[in-house]
Structure 1
């Protein structure tokens, strides 16, 4: 009897350790439609910072890193178009980089270029890992862009798709 209770307790303990926190919930399409572009981007980026997943980052070209820093400064200065163009130059050096494409998608949200944001996020998803923070950011961007265009049902589908990007870490003993 004691052994059976111990096994049940350990199983519950391991299950609790393996679960991940829920993280920010995707926005309802109706709420997204009233949000500012800056609020949309903040929500997208928050979904990418879940924090309990292993994410592999490839080595980056130093030229691309310089352009990323430049784009970050431009975005912070309130120049999303200049940052977008800087990232386009980085994509010439590192074509198909899903992180750069997603960043461009987020900048397109800031510029209210809803269709462009959706297309870039979809490209990033196709080229990316399809799991983890980048995946959640992809689907949140797609969902937010659709909601801003009034495609609420399609936005809800995208937000639900983003929920499948989270993978629980393996149980370690």
Structure 2
């Protein structure tokens, strides 16, 4: 019995010596700092007028004044202040998909990736599922996911944006 115990211990020690430790995991390479101006430019380019017909509702004059103020603040790179002005506009027209998308783009400028994605999703849910705004929604979602490291989910979002364009009917 003693020989058997000694043999088992020796084999266990031998096997333990042969075991390899997993290689230390390399730290993920630090992502290059995103050029937020380029990201927002790509989002807005995705929403450029396509071949589809887009209907724009009449805007409240009060909201239009706030839009102009937000544009000036954004041009001056005061993204937080521009966002606060858009919050005032959203208090007048709650859930406006265009304003929500603009908020999402300002969140991209501030590197608030989760907020940008959440606002773009809300804009998509409330807005048209086709056209320029739809493409901007999915481009924002894709860029926000890319910046968070969710590359596969970002690719899905970018592909989803392609479905926002509908070819016009063939005219004979």
The reply to whether TM is greater than 0.5 is yes
Please give the root-mean-square deviation of Cα atoms over the aligned residues, in Å.
1.3
Superposed CA deviations along residues 137-173 of structure 1, whole A, max 9, x for unmatched, are: 0000001000000000110110011010001112234
Give the corresponding residue for 1:45.
44
For residue 33 of structure 1, report the CA deviation from its aligned partner: 6.3
Distance 1:151 1:33 in 2: 15
Length-normalised TM-score, structure 2: 0.80
Distance 1:34 1:75 in 2: 20
Length-normalised TM-score, structure 1: 0.79
Tell me if 1:81 matches 2:106: no
For residue 34 of structure 1, report the CA deviation from its aligned partner: 5.7
Distance 2:33 2:152 in 1: 16
CA contact (8 A) 1:33 1:147 kept: no
Distance 1:33 1:165 in 2: 30
Instruction: Structure 2: give runs of 5+ residues left out of the alignment.
Output: 1-30
Distance 1:94 1:165 in 2: 24
Greater RCO (Cα-Cα under 8 Å, separation 6 or more): 1
Give the corresponding residue for 1:155.
154
Distance 2:37 2:75 in 1: 12
Identify if the C-alpha distance between structure 1 residues 170 and 34 changes in structure 2 by more than 3 Å, giving closer, same or farther.
farther
Larger Rg: 2
Identify if the C-alpha distance between structure 1 residues 64 and 164 changes in structure 2 by more than 3 Å, giving closer, same or farther.
same
Give the corresponding residue for 2:3.
none
